[in-house]
Amino acid sequence: MSLKKNNKDDQAIRSALQSAERIALFSHIHPDGDAIGAQLGLAAVLRAMGKEVAIYNQTGQPGTFAFLPGMADLRHWGEDDFSADLRVALDCGNLERLGLSEAEWQADQRISIDHHMGHEPFSDLNYVDAEAPATCAILADFCRNWNFPVSADAATCFLTGLHTDTGSFRFEKTKAETFQTAAWLMEKGADLSAIRYHVFESTSQARFQLLNAMYQSSEFLSGGHIAIAEITYKQMLNLGVNDDEVHGLVGQLKEVQGVELSILLRELSSGAIKVSLRSKQYLDCNRLASEFNGGGHVRAAGCTLHSSLQEARQTLLAAAARHLKEDLSS
């Protein structure tokens, strides 16, 4: 296979999954609920079909999702000598986000299943549906249409991705079909209570304090349309907060009335600045992040800046104010 484009050929994906015996599943670095849910859910389905499956992530296991069945199997690629005849990249918009080099990703048969807008194809077969609310929604619908075996555990994994990537069924890509997919997963035995308890009602005290620090640093600019806040590496260190506990904080800023765009700047241990962007109605976050070699979706995107926190803040605010005007008038 050497089809490096988004061919959206679900039947080719189906036959690749059905004919492979040893399958390795990958997702993006610093995995969120959709990335992890997609990997663990698909792993459970494929194992029920008699396949040997290995799952990899280059930045390890996010604690929030430790409750999901199969998480203990997640490994760092290169840690074992599993030889796969098919590799699948899930919820990952480009090769860099996979955390592997071009040489490391080389294999006979590679497929990608994703829903990121700015997806840059890096596999032989790429199924990208940017309208899908979550990669887990694509996978759940595939399994439903193809009659693949979805256990209660697999359903819990897929529902976790659907729940988290839609902001609990609030975001724009949530359609009537999204609820139908969720309903089907519930019928399959998905454990909604476990998701609620572990994902939404288990914030650590440290994360709560970090949220407090973020609120204290917040400012409202451009007539209240832009909310910006920052978190320093020192704050993370002092509170003992790890990377995956920061996920989702930026969304809180967007909840303020009048805010169209929320920006969270986070200083990494390397000194680089990780930027998270969220918008409410019209600003295209993907377009803004793309200006800085990042990407994502219209309402949620990110990028990394190699500068001081202060410089990153100025650069971002200038670009954001410009995008605010352009996107409002377009």
Residues engaged in binding Mn ion (CB under 5 A): 34, 91, 135, 165
Of 91 and 260, which has the nearer Cβ to Mn ion?
Answer: 91
Interhelix angle for 152-165 vs 33-48, to 10°? 160
Angstrom distances, CA of residue 98 to CA of 30, 90, 165: 10, 9, 18
Pick what 294 binds: ligand 5GP, Mn ion, none; C-beta below 5 to 8 Å, kind-dependent. ligand 5GP
Of 165 and 327, which has the nearer Cβ to Mn ion?
Answer: 165
Q: Which residues bind ligand 5GP (CB under 6 A)?
A: 28, 93-94, 97, 247, 250, 276, 294-297, 300-304
Pick what 165 binds: Mn ion, ligand 5GP, none; C-beta below 5 to 8 Å, kind-dependent. Mn ion
Q: How far is the CB of 62 from ligand 5GP (least distance, A)?
A: 12
Instruction: Give me the phi and psi of 306, to 5 degrees please.
Output: -100, 80
Of 94 and 235, which has the nearer Cβ to ligand 5GP?
Answer: 94
Of 40 and 86, which has the nearer Cβ to ligand 5GP?
Answer: 40
Q: How far is the CB of 251 from ligand 5GP (least distance, A)?
A: 9
Pick what 207 binds: Mn ion, ligand 5GP, none; C-beta below 5 to 8 Å, kind-dependent. none
Of 16 and 262, which has the nearer Cβ to ligand 5GP?
Answer: 262
Distance of CA 282 to the CA centre of its chain: 21
Pick what 34 binds: ligand 5GP, Mn ion, none; C-beta below 5 to 8 Å, kind-dependent. Mn ion
Q: How far is the CB of 120 from ligand 5GP (least distance, A)?
A: 8
Q: How far is the CB of 247 from ligand 5GP (least distance, A)?
A: 6
Can you tell me the distance from the alpha carbon of 86 to that of 107, in angstroms, rounded to the nearest whole number? Answer: 8
Sheet of strand 52-56, all strands in order from the earlier edge strand to the far edge = 52-56, 22-27, 86-90, 110-114, 125-128
Of 17 and 218, which has the nearer Cβ to ligand 5GP?
Answer: 218
Pick what 254 binds: ligand 5GP, Mn ion, none; C-beta below 5 to 8 Å, kind-dependent. none
Name which of 91, 92, 38 is nearest 65 in CA terms: 38
Pick what 70 binds: Mn ion, ligand 5GP, none; C-beta below 5 to 8 Å, kind-dependent. none
Q: How far is the CB of 316 from ligand 5GP (least distance, A)?
A: 13
Q: How far is the CB of 51 from ligand 5GP (least distance, A)?
A: 27
Of 84 and 249, which has the nearer Cβ to ligand 5GP?
Answer: 249
